[in-house]
Chains A and B, each alone.
Chain A
């Protein structure tokens, strides 16, 4: 019930391409879905987050797509750049409770 399943584990994209990372959850009480970005030697940093009352949220080149009926959400990185190479974590929680993290996706953007 509390799991968040993330795929793929690793992803290689050419510069300028679209990176897509997917997450699925079971707990229908989840109402907050953030994505974190982690560079080597640093802690994860909040990248973008969505609540289930909207189906999409865009911030610059980063977009979260949310499908409530399928209990899935995804991160799209448009025009991927080598500087986007990092590990990405999805997460989910319901109000006031702890985040449940996905297993992470290591993204490499090739120049």
Chain B
């Protein structure tokens, strides 16, 4: 257990489904991140929230919609996905400002789009 919890661990969804990924941290961090990890792109930054405001949206298709209701929780809402969206989705958190202490990652959600 790393301090960042992601649910579900595995998800299989059809292209017409709507699902959500959840990330939770209780490390006192004030920034949270979504990464996509696939064989083609090992760590692809999707979204960044700092102090609950989205500060980065890395040209991600609109079928991915993030939500950060508070500094401890981050969601990734999925709808009408494509098979190429199948990947490991990683959440991470960190402190922002001042010296860096790196990111703490969750174990990820393995998403399969059928």
Query: Taking the nearest CB of chain B, how far is it from the CB of A32, in angstroms?
Result: 4
Query: Taking the nearest CB of chain B, how far is it from the CB of A94, in angstroms?
Result: 8
**Could you tell me if B43 and A46 are in contact, using CB atoms closer than 8 angstroms?**
no
Interface residue range, chain B = 20 to 34
Decide yes or no: A98 and B56 within 8 Å by CB, A34-B102, A104-B43 being known contacts. yes
**Could you tell me if A43 and B107 are in contact, using CB atoms closer than 8 angstroms?**
yes
**Could you tell me if B108 and A42 are in contact, using CB atoms closer than 8 angstroms?**
yes
Interface residue range, chain A = 20 to 34
Residues from chain B with a CB closer than 8 A to the CB of A98 are 33, 45, 48, 56
> What is A's interface to B at a CB cutoff of 8 Å?
31-32, 34, 36, 41-46, 49, 87, 89, 91, 93, 95-99, 101, 103-104
Nearest 9 pairs of A and B residues by beta carbon:
A43-B105, A104-B42, A32-B100, A96-B97, A101-B43, A34-B102, A46-B102, A44-B105, A43-B107
